[in-house]
Chains A and B, each alone.
Chain A
Amino acid sequence: MSNRNKILFMIPYLLWIILFVILPILLILWYSLTNQSQQFTLANFELFFHNGTFLKMMLNSFWYAFLITFVTLLVSYPAAYFLTKMKNQQIWLLLIILPTWINLLLKAYAFIGILSNSGLANQFLQLFGIGPVNILFTDFSFIFVATYIEIPFMILPIYNAIKEINPVIIQASEDLGASKWQTFKYVLWPLSWSGVESGIQAIFIPSLSLFMLTRLIGGNRVITLGTAIEEYFLTTMNWNMGATIGVVLIILMVAVMLLTGSKIKRKKVDL
């Protein structure tokens, strides 16, 4: 390819990088460092770090994101492991991927019905004589629905990682007298860690921005960073404060990524 062609190919892509990657970040940064009459100020950050509510909210969102990721991992790991032992794995995989193609909002909407006071969940509980429990609009319902949505995105990378392990290694561990737990702890888990890691990365960061779930399922009670950004930008129209929260979130994200040695998140998994 000639040099001229090379530049020709690069232009639209570079334009995209400048316009939609660099410029928006700079704009967010600029908004966070100015007040509403566009004067330079550090007041937004001062408010963020001196006002207890913001710090509490930040801890809150990371705690929820951690819980969602942890519960998802707990449910998904055995499922991924068992999947590798099944016949017709392609069909099983297809069945697990299929629900991810149904719009997230529709699934959230379904849970409004299921978790309501006389919905399926409470009808089920009544079989055991437990009276109608208020499930909808609680922290529990938020974590439950978020976990539900993320499960397939955790199962698939772990499945792929376990699938790549040579079964001979597991057999060798068993032959050499390792207990089931030892085989898991010293062989299976370390060898499948790459999958677990990509699963965690695919879930942790997106869980910070599930503001639609906090609105629909959490009943506005669960306030996370994502919800706060949405509120400042679209409801109270205080873009400067919203941008400040955004900048803090970006910095934390970069820190987390540097710590874990990041790869990319994959929202969707190719069939």
Chain B
Amino acid sequence: MKNRKIFARLYLYFILIILYVPIFYLIYFSFSSGKNMNKFQHFTLAHYQTLLQDNRLIAIFLNTVILALLSSLIATIIGTMGAIAISRVRSKKHKQTLLALNNVLMVSPDVIIGASFLVFFTALGIGLNFGSVLLSHIAFSVPIVVLMVLPRLNEMDYSLIDAARDLGANNYQVFSNVMIPAILPGIASGLFMALTYSLDDFAVTFFVTGNGFSTLSVEIYSRARQGIDLEINALSTVIFVFVLVLVLIYYFISTKRGKKARGIMRELIK
């Protein structure tokens, strides 16, 4: 029994090591003065200096962040409205058709999405630049928002809406004071997923971007094809720290909120 426990632990450590070795390998060599990732030379911050002076890369980084924020926000609005509309469709058949269409982009491989959007933009004569990338990111984020919001709507207690109406609330008040708060957790996770979809995407962006616009993924790809460049290592350290901070904040908030909620529940039971 005890042996099994130790084995389980070792196996999980092994998985974690595998998962983290590449990341720390990148970070480790970002401090090396050499030109490759084979042997650590001397400690240096030179690559970080190059990174800070690399205006092109900084601009691309900002582009990526703005793109993610903008596309996820718009996708959340369209997706939430869509989810509300779907939840109101009475005919079961229509509902299923809508959901099936919704899931097409969820199950398609990225290359197909990218290629079909490329064809689409060309057919409509839309230039390949920030606009086309933004539209694509909105497009592939909408379905996940719908899927995150819809269960909340289905769980919602509709007598709340009737109650609000009986108490004299108008349409807008019902919507903003009753409905939105009830489905807010779904909207929040939809927004969060849309954000990560956008930040993470490479393949679709690669297809629909032109010469003038690039995101971090595309830039890293084109640089990695040239070979090793320790500036990318420095960049990955920055990204890792960035992600780590975000995750810790998220984790802290969610556990704190959880504790608070549990506290309230205990009070109520008393």
| B19, B39, B112: most-surrounded residue (chain A CB, <10 A) | B112
| A94, A106, A271: most-surrounded residue (chain B CB, <10 A) | A106
A209, B110: Cβ atoms under 8 Å?
yes
| B22, B142, B224: most-surrounded residue (chain A CB, <10 A) | B22
Check: B41 CB closer than 8 A to any chain A CB.
no
Expressed in whole angstroms, the Cα–Cα distance for A208 and B20 within the complex equals 25
Of chain B, the residue at the smallest CB distance from A264 is B106
Least CB distance from A235 to B in Å reads 12
Surface stretch bound by B, among A44-52, A79-87, A160-168, A183-191: A79-87
Known contacts A6-B88, A107-B22; is-contact A271 B250 (Cβ 8 Å): yes
Expressed in whole angstroms, the Cα–Cα distance for A246 and B118 within the complex equals 13
B residues 1-32 in Cβ contact with A at 8 Å: 5, 8-9, 11-12, 15-16, 18-23, 25-26, 29
A271, B11: Cβ atoms under 8 Å?
no
B25, A110: Cβ atoms under 8 Å?
yes
Least CB distance from B181 to A in Å reads 16
Known contacts A102-B236, A104-B217; is-contact A16 B142 (Cβ 8 Å): yes
| B85, B109, B135: most-surrounded residue (chain A CB, <10 A) | B109
Check: B44 CB closer than 8 A to any chain A CB.
no
Surface stretch bound by A, among B45-53, B191-199, B261-269: B191-199
| A1, A105, A265: most-surrounded residue (chain B CB, <10 A) | A105
Q: CB within 8 A of A119: which of B38, B119, B227? A: B38
Least CB distance from B77 to A in Å reads 8
Chain B residues lying within 8 Å of A170, measured Cβ to Cβ, are none
Q: CB within 8 A of A75: which of B15, B77, B116? A: B15
Known contacts A16-B139, A246-B116; is-contact A112 B228 (Cβ 8 Å): yes
Q: Is the interface of A mostly helix, strand, loop or mixed?
A: helix
B104, A105: Cβ atoms under 8 Å?
no
Check: A128 CB closer than 8 A to any chain B CB.
no
Known contacts A1-B88, A253-B107; is-contact A113 B112 (Cβ 8 Å): no
A216, B200: Cβ atoms under 8 Å?
no
Chain B residues lying within 8 Å of A10, measured Cβ to Cβ, are 81-82, 85
Check: A270 CB closer than 8 A to any chain B CB.
yes
Interface string of A205-244 (1 = CB under 8 A from B): 1101101100110000000011001100110000100110
Check: B240 CB closer than 8 A to any chain A CB.
yes
Known contacts A98-B243, A102-B243, A264-B107; is-contact A27 B116 (Cβ 8 Å): yes
Interface string of B82-125 (1 = CB under 8 A from A): 10111010000000001001111111111111111111100100
Expressed in whole angstroms, the Cα–Cα distance for A204 and B179 within the complex equals 38
A120, B82: Cβ atoms under 8 Å?
no
Chain A residues lying within 8 Å of B26, measured Cβ to Cβ, are 106, 109-110, 113
Known contacts A106-B26, A216-B225, A271-B254; is-contact A24 B120 (Cβ 8 Å): yes
Check: A9 CB closer than 8 A to any chain B CB.
yes
Chain A residues lying within 8 Å of B224, measured Cβ to Cβ, are 105, 108-109, 112, 216
Of chain A, the residue at the smallest CB distance from B24 is A110
8 more A-B residue pairs beyond the given contacts A28-B116, A96-B19, A114-B25, with a C-beta to C-beta distance below 8 A: A20-B120, A94-B247, A96-B16, A109-B224, A113-B37, A119-B38, A206-B109, A268-B193
Chain B residues with CB under 8 Å of chain A are 5, 8-9, 11-12, 15-16, 18-23, 25-26, 29, 36-39, 77-79, 81-82, 84-86, 88, 98, 101-120, 123, 135, 139, 142, 146-147, 171, 175, 189, 192-193, 196-197, 199-200, 202-203, 206-207, 216-217, 220-221, 224-225, 227-228, 232, 235-236, 239-240, 243-244, 247, 250-251, 254
